[in-house]
Structure 1
Amino acid sequence: METSAKPSNNNIGRKIGRIREMRGIKQEALAAELGVSQQTVSRMEQSETIEDEVLDKVAKVLGVPADAIKNFSEDAVINIIASTVNNHDQAASVFFYPTFNPIDKLMELVEENKKLYERLLMAEKEKNELLKRK
């Protein structure tokens, strides 16, 4: 009888751990979002199976569908990365195509900043008026 050293592809906990790592999320951060301890997350990542309700919560925190966790395959991820890498240049290319106009967003932030400044100014004026009355 021969045992395989390769971990089971159906180990849901290991899949959660790999996706968490790929997303750059620490166990502590995931635990805080789920309202559990880091040790609970560690045990979860070592589990073969996880209740669907817990899986849904984890998936929401990780920003992926629960089915993506269930069907996660590290080999598939490696194949996708390998097929999209352009080896003709030494620089990594990152393309960002926002679905919004970044200038419009910037202007929204500027307007919001103005409103906050005006509210702060009004609060200071009210405070000064109160101090003058005393």
Structure 2
Amino acid sequence: MTTGTKIRYLREKKKISQEALAYAVGVSQVTIGNWEQGKSIKHEYIKRLAEALEISIDYLFEESQNKNVETTSKIDVHSDSFEIIIKAPNHFFEDLHKKMDLLINKFEAPK
């Protein structure tokens, strides 16, 4: 779900109009419509928007960050191996490496 779609969903879930949300954030109704259509949000309004929707800033942008993650997999039916290619921002890989190291260490630990 994109950030704009999420804004619209949360606004409708709270049963408030674009105009009411705009008033709470301090922008125009047109601006709220633009955000819901995917236009960028100026940083000075992000905190107010999250507060008005009663969510965290991280939640608001969580999935929009992950939209940069693209995976493809290739499986050779004549082999016992497979290949997965992941294209994503560097911070995604840093977190993934930490989690993989944790799992590897857990399974390598003596029983």
Structure with greater strand percent: 2
Radius of gyration: which is bigger? 1
In the superposition, the TM-score normalised over structure 2's length comes to: 0.49
Structure with greater helix percent: 1
